[in-house]
Amino acid sequence: MDAQIHKDSLLQVHKDALLKKRGEILSAGGIKPLQASMENNTRQGDMADQASGNNEVHIALKLKQTDAKILQAIEEALWRIEKGTYGVCRDCGEPIAEARLRAIPWTRVCITCKEKQGS
Ligand SMILES: [Zn+2]
């Protein structure tokens, strides 16, 4: 019974971390990088202005895609918590190390499978 209580409190820690991260992504909205680039561009020539502008937009889009991916992974992780399958590797079915879950609570695979993917 003690082990079950311990497991539940760990799940709660991860759930809080997931909800917090989700809130951060949703409130950020990916607008800040664009604003910073506009202030920067006023000090540069026309050519540099355009190149820099495009680059900043590209970075902003990339950031947004990453956020969207993390957001989806967070939703999946929250769903797995509800189903009671959280913390199990999607690929090999082994438990994911607690330290890894603390670092990346929305991860789907264990470190071994992640390294096999090479990404
Ligand atoms: Zn695995």
34-81 pLDDT, tens digit per residue, is 444 455 555 445 555 555 566 777 777 777 888 999 999 999 999 999
SS3 95: strand
User: Is residue 16 scored above 90 in pLDDT?
Assistant: yes
Average pLDDT estimate for 2-16: 84
* pLDDT in the model for residue 28: 82
Rounded to an integer, the average pLDDT of 20-40 is 69
Q: What is the pTM of this model?
A: 0.67
pLDDT above 70 covers what percent of the chain? 75
Residue for token digits 């664009």? Answer: 34
Q: Tell me what pLDDT residue 59 has.
A: 74
58 Ramachandran zone, left/alpha/beta (phi>0; psi -120 to 50): alpha
Q: How far is the CA of 114 from the centre of ligand 1 (A)?
A: 7
Residues 6+ apart with CB under 8 A from 47: none
- CA–CA dist 38, 18 (Å, integer): 33
Average pLDDT over residues 89-100: 96
Q: End-to-end CA distance of the chain, in Å?
A: 39
Distance 73 CA to ligand 1 centre (A): 16
What is the C-alpha to C-alpha distance for residues 8 and 14, in angstroms, rounded to an integer?
Answer: 10
Which token pair is 15? 């759930």
- C-alpha 49/C-alpha 70 separation (Å) is 31
Ligand 1 center to 118 CA (angstroms)? 13
| Predicted pLDDT at 44 | 47
Dist. CA 33 → ligand 1 center (Å) = 36
**Dist. CA 65 → ligand 1 center (Å):** 25
Residue 13 Cα, ligand 1 centroid: separation in angstroms?
A: 22
Query: What separation in Å is there between the alpha carbon of 64 and the centre of ligand 1?
Result: 28
